[in-house]
C-alpha cells in the first residue's frame, strides 16, 4: 500500500466532498425559496432537464445491479456470485434513495410526492413508475436491513430476513423489470416530439436490456472504486466472469439496437452525420460496440485495468443514451438547445457526493464485502486460480461467512 | 347544466385581430397587468394572437377528446370533463411536468419562477362552462370568429361555412379528427402547417400508445412472478440433486481409497 500517497489523495477527496456539500446547501436554499427557474435552465420547451435525464433515468438504471445480481444468485442459483450480492444491494438501495432525493429537487411541488398513493391514474406510466419505485425501495430497504441486523448482532431478525430473501428477490425482479422498461414507455406518447433515431415502439425493451447491462458494468466499476478507497474488493476471477456475462448482454443490446434501426427504417438517418446522428453514433460506437469487442476478449476480461476501462465505457454509453433520449431527441422538434445550468450540475454533484459518502460509510461499518481473511482462505481452498469465467455452469460453493 | 360535449370553433378567415379574446381571457383569469399583446402562450397568458398575411390566428389548449396531458398525469390533476374542458387541480399536482412534455400541441406552461408553482393553460373557462355559461373569449368575440356550442353543432357550422365559401377556406376542419379529435376546432384559409404553428399530427389518439403497453402489465407481473418462482425452485432442486449425486460419488471414491477426508463445507 502506498503509505504516503493514500492519505493525501483521501484528504483531497474529502475536501472536494465538503466543498460540494457547502455548494449543495446554498443551491438548495435558492431552489426552494425562489423556484425552479432561479436555479435551472429548464423552460416550457425543455420541461425536463438534467435532473430527469441524469439523476432519474441514469440513477435508476445504474442501480439495476441490485436486481440483476440477486436474480442471478437466488433464482438462477449462480452461487459463485454471492460475494457481489451485498455491494450490489447496497448500491441499489443508496441509488434509489438518491433518485428520490433528486425528485424532491425536481418536482415543482415535492410536498405532494406521496399523492400517487391515494390519487390514482392507472392510465399514466408515471403513476406505474411511482408505485414500482415506492415498492421496490421498500424491498431494497428490507434486503439491505439484513446487513444492519447482522452488524448489530440481532440474530433473530437476521433469521427472519433470511427467510424472506427468496420472495423479496422475486418481487424485486418483477418490480424492477416493470419500472426499468416503463421509463422507456414514458416517451412513447410523444412520437411527434422525439427524434426518429430514439422514438421506437421498442423503447421499453431497449431501456430494460440496457439497464441490466449497465447494472453489471456498475458491479465492476464499484469494486474497483472501493478497492481504491477502502482497500476492499472482489476477487478478480469473479469480476472476469461478470465481464463475460456483460459481453454477452452487450452483443444482445447491439443486436437489438440495430435490428430496431433497421425495423424502423432509420439506418440511413443514423449515418447522415446530422447533429442527432453524431450523438447517436457516439452512444453506439465507442461507448457500446467498442466495449462489446473489448469484453469479448479473455485478455481484457482477465486484466483488472482493461476490465475496469471497458466497464467504464459501458457506463458512459448508458449515460449518453439516456441523456440523448431525455434531451437531444427533443431538440429538433422543440427548437433551441438545452444546456444544464451551473446550479443543476451543482445539485447533481451534491447528490452524487452524498451517495459516495454514504457508500463509503456503509462499506466501512457494515458487513458488505466478504471478510478478507476468511475469503482468502476459502478461495484458496475452493477456487483453483484457473477455474472461473469459462465454466459458468460449473458451480462451486464458496464459503461465505454468514456469521 | 348540460352534459353535452361542447367545443370552441375558431374561424381564422373572419377574425379581425381585435384582441378582445386575449383581453377578456387575461382579465377574467386575474392577469390585469396592462400587458395586452400576447404572441406567445405563458403562465399568465392562456391564449395568444398572431398575424400571418392579413390573417390573425389564435392559439389555445385544444381540449383534446383523448388528452395526452390528462392521460400522463400520475395523480389525475388534469381531467377531461364531460362538457368538454380539460381542467386542472393544482392541489393534486406534484409538479412532474409530464403534461408539459406530453402535450402534442405544446400548450401547458409552468410557473418556473414561483416557489409554489402550478401548470397553467386555458381551462375553457371551466368556472363558466360548469354553470352552463360560455368561455370569456367566445363571449367577447364580436365577429363570430370564436364560437362556442355543442361540438356536433360546431362541426356542422364549420362544414357549412366551408361549403358556402369554398374559395375562402381550406377544406379541412382542424380538430375534427386530429389526435382522436379535439374540442377546439379551427377553420383556416390555408393549411395550418404552413403557419409553422402546428406539425402534422396523425388522427390516432396518443394515450393509446402508452395504454397498449400498460395494459399488459398486470398479466405480465403475475406470470413473471409465478414463472420466476418456479424457475428458481427447479434450478435449485436440480443443483441439490446434482450435488447429492456428486457427494455420493466422492463418498464411494473416498470409501474405496480408505481415505476419509473431504473438504465439503456444507
Ligand atoms: S392541447 Fe395539450 S394541454 Fe390541451 S388538452 Fe390537449 S394535450 Fe392537454
Ligand atoms: S405537472 Fe402536475 S398536472 Fe402535470 S402531469 Fe405532473 S402532476 Fe399532473
Ligand atoms: S376559453 Fe377561457 S381560458 Fe380559454 S382562451 Fe378562451 S377565455 Fe381564455
pLDDT digits 0-9 by tens, A109-120: 999 999 999 999
Q: What is the CATH number of domain B6-204?
A: 3.30.70.20
State the angle between helix axes of B207-214 and A155-185 in degrees (0 to 180), rounded to the nearest 10.
140
CB of B126 closer than 6 angstroms to any ligand 1 atom: no
Mean pLDDT, chain A, whole residue set: 87
What crossing angle do the helices spanning A304-323 and A203-230 adopt, rounded to 10°?
A: 140
Of chain A, the percentage scoring pLDDT greater than 70 comes to 88
3-state helix, strand, coil in chain A (%, to 5): 75, 0, 25
- Is B106 in Cβ contact with A121 (below 8 Å)? no
Nearest C-alpha in A relative to B242: A395
Q: How far apart are CA A144 and CA A142, in angstroms?
A: 5
User: Which cell is B130 given?
Assistant: 360548469
Q: Which residues are near ligand 2 (CB < 6 Å)?
A: B 72-75, 77-78, 93-99, 119
Give B-chain residues touching A196 at CB under 8 angstroms. Answer: none
Which secondary-structure segment (H or E) carries B224?
A: helix B217-257
B138 CA closest ligand 3 atom index: 6
Pairwise CA distance, residues B125 & B133, whole Å:
9
Compute the distance from residue B62 Cα to the ligand 1 centre, in Å: 6
Q: What is the pLDDT of residue A398?
A: 39
Q: Is the CB of B183 under 6 A from ligand 1?
A: no
Distance CA(A291)–CA(A289), nearest Å, equals: 6
pLDDT tens for B127-150 read 998 888 999 999 999 999 999 999
**CA A354 to CA A339: how far, in whole Å?**
24
Write the DSSP string, A55-78: IIIIHHHHTTHHHHHHIIIIIS--
- Name the residue among A35, A124, A182 with its Cβ closest to that of B112: A35
Give pLDDT tens digits for A239-287. Answer: 999 999 999 999 999 999 999 999 999 999 999 999 999 999 999 999 9
Report d(CA A98, CA A92) in Å as an integer: 10
Distance from CA of A177 to the nearest CA of B (A): 9
Q: Could you give the angle at which helices A203-230 and A236-263 cross, rounded to 10 degrees?
A: 160
Amino acid B195: pLDDT: 74
A190 touches chain B (CB under 8 A): yes
Output the pLDDT for position A396: 39
A74: nearest CA partner in chain B: B232
B109-110 and B119-120: which strand pairing?
antiparallel
Cβ contact A185–B214 (<8 Å): yes
All residues at 6 or more sequence positions from A388 whose CB lies less than 8 Å from its CB, including other chains: A237, A238, A240, A241
Cβ atoms of B184 and B65 within 8 Å: the answer is no
Query: Chain A contacts of B117, Cβ < 8 Å?
Result: 35-36, 108-109
A74 touches chain B (CB under 8 A): yes
| B57 backbone dihedrals φ, ψ, rounded to 5° | -140, 150
Residue in B114, B211, B217 closest to A35 by CB: B114
Query: Pairing state of beta strands B55-59 and B109-110?
Result: unpaired
ipTM given for this complex: 0.86
With a 6 Å cutoff on the Cβ, whether B38 touches ligand 3 is no
State the Cα–Cα distance between residues A54 and A61, nearest whole angstrom.
10
Cβ pair B92:A333 closer than 8 A: no
Per the rule left: phi > 0, alpha: psi between -120 and 50, beta: everything else, A282 is alpha
CB contact under 8 A, A112 and B93: yes
What's residue B20's pLDDT? 93
CA–CA separation, B176 and A223 (whole Å): 59
CB contact under 8 A, A122 and B104: no
Q: How far is B210 from chain A (nearest CA, A)?
A: 6
Burial of A247 (0-12, 13-18, 19+ CB in 10 A): buried
Residue with the three cell numbers 474497483? A224
What does the pLDDT average to over A58-64?
A: 94
Q: Which amino acid residue places its CA nearest to atom 8 of ligand 3?
A: B25
- Tens digit of each residue's pLDDT (9 = 90 or more) over B186-233: 999 988 877 766 667 788 889 988 988 888 888 888 888 889 888 888
Instruction: List the single residue in B with minimal CA-CA distance to A72.
Output: B232
Q: Whose CA is nearest to atom 1 of ligand 3?
A: B124
Enumerate the residues of chain A whose CB falls inside 8 A of the CB of residue B210: 123-125, 185, 188-189
Q: Count other C-beta atoms under 10 Å from residue B35's C-beta.
A: 12
Amino acid at each position: 500500500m502506498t503509505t504516503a500517497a493514500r492519505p493525501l489523495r483521501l484528504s483531497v477527496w474529502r475536501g472536494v466532498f465538503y466543498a460540494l456539500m457547502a455548494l449543495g446547501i446554498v443551491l438548495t436554499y435558492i431552489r426552494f425559496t425562489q423556484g425552479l427557474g432561479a436555479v435551472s435552465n429548464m423552460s416550457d420547451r425543455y420541461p425536463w432537464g438534467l435532473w430527469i435525464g441524469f439523476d432519474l433515468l441514469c440513477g435508476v438504471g445504474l442501480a439495476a445491479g441490485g436486481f440483476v445480481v440477486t436474480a442471478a444468485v437466488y433464482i438462477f442459483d449462480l452461487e459463485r456470485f454471492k460475494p457481489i450480492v451485498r455491494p450490489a444491494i447496497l448500491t441499489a438501495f443508496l441509488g434509489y434513495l438518491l433518485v428520490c432525493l433528486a425528485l424532491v429537487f425536481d418536482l415543482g411541488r415535492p410536498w405532494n410526492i406521496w399523492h400517487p398513493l391515494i390519487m390514482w391514474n392507472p392510465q399514466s406510466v408515471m403513476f406505474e413508475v411511482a408505485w414500482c419505485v415506492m415498492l421496490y425501495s421498500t424491498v431494497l430497504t428490507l434486503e439491505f436491513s439484513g446487513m444492519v441486523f447482522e452488524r448489530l448482532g440481532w440474530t433473530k431478525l437476521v433469521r427472519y430476513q433470511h427467510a424472506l430473501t427468496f420472495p423479496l428477490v422475486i418481487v424485486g425482479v418483477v418490480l424492477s423489470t416493470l419500472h426499468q422498461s416503463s421509463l422507456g414507455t414514458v416517451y412513447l406518447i410523444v412520437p411527434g416530439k422525439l427524434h426518429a433515431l430514439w422514438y421506437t415502439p421498442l423503447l421499453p425493451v431497449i431501456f430494460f436490456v440496457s439497464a441490466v447491462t449497465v447494472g453489471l458494468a456498475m458491479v465492476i466499476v464499484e469494486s474497483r472504486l472501493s478497492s481504491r478507497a477502502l482497500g476492499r474488493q472482489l476477487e478478480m476471477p469473479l469480476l472476469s466472469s461478470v465481464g463475460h456475462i456483460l459481453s454477452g448482454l452487450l452483443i444482445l443490446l447491439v443486436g437489438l439496437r440495430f435490428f430496431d434501426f433497421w425495423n424502423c427504417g432509420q439506418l440511413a438517418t443514423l449515418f447522415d452525420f446530422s447533429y442527432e446522428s453524431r450523438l447517436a453514433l457516439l452512444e453506439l460506437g465507442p461507448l457500446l460496440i467498442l466495449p462489446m469487442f473489448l469484453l469479448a476478449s479473455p485478455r481484457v476480461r482477465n486484466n483488472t485495468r482493461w476490465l475496469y476501462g471497458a466497464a467504464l465505457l459501458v457506463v458512459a454509453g448508458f449515460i449518453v443514451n439516456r441523456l440523448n433520449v431525455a434531451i437531444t431527441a427533443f431538440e429538433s422538434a422543440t427548437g433551441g438547445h438545452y444546456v444544464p445550468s451551473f446550479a443543476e450540475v451543482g445539485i447533481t454533484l451534491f447528490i452524487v457526493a452524498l451517495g459516495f459518502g454514504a457508500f463509503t460509510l456503509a462499506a466501512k461499518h457494515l458487513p458488505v464485502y466478504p471478510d478478507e481473511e476468511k475469503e482468502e482462505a476459502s478461495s484458496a481452498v475452493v477456487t483453483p486460480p484457473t477455474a472461473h469465467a469459462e465454466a459458468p455452469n460449473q458451480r462451486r460453493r464458496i464459503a461465505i461467512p454468514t456469521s | 347544466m348540460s352534459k353535452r360535449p361542447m367545443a370552441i370553433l375558431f374561424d381564422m378567415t373572419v377574425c379581425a385581430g381585435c384582441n378582445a379574446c386575449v383581453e377578456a381571457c387575461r382579465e377574467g383569469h386575474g392577469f390585469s397587468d396592462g400587458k395586452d399583446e400576447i404572441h406567445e402562450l405563458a403562465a399568465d397568458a392562456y391564449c395568444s394572437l398572431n398575424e400571418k398575411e392579413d390573417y390573425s390566428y389564435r392559439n389555445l389548449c385544444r381540449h383534446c377528446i383523448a388528452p395526452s396531458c390528462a392521460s400522463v398525469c400520475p395523480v389525475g390533476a388534469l381531467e377531461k370533463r364531460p362538457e368538454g374542458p380539460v381542467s386542472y387541480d393544482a392541489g393534486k399536482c406534484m409538479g412532474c411536468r409530464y403534461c408539459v412534455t406530453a402535450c402534442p400541441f405544446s400548450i401547458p406552461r409552468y410557473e418556473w419562477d414561483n416557489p409554489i408553482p402550478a401548470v397553467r393553460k386555458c381551462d375553457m373557462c371551466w368556472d363558466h362552462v360548469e354553470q352552463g355559461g360560455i368561455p370569456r373569449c367566445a363571449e367577447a368575440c364580436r365577429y363570430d370568429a370564436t364560437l362556442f356550442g355543442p361540438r356536433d353543432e360546431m362541426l356542422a357550422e364549420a362544414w357549412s361555412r366551408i361549403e358556402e365559401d369554398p374559395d375562402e377556406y381550406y377544406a379541412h376542419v382542424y380538430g375534427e379528427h386530429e389526435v382522436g379529435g379535439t374540442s377546439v376546432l379551427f377553420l383556416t384559409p390555408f393549411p395550418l402547417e404552413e403557419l409553422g404553428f402546428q406539425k402534422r399530427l396523425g388522427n390516432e389518439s396518443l394515450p393509446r400508445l402508452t395504454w397498449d403497453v400498460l395494459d399488459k402489465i398486470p398479466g405480465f407481473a403475475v406470470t413473471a412472478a409465478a414463472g420466476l418462482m418456479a424457475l428458481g425452485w427447479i434450478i435449485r432442486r436440480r443443483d441439490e440433486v446434482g450435488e447429492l449425486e456428486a457427494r455420493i460419488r466422492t463418498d464411494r471414491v473416498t470409501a474405496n481409497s480408505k481415505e476419509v477426508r473431504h473438504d465439503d463445507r456444507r
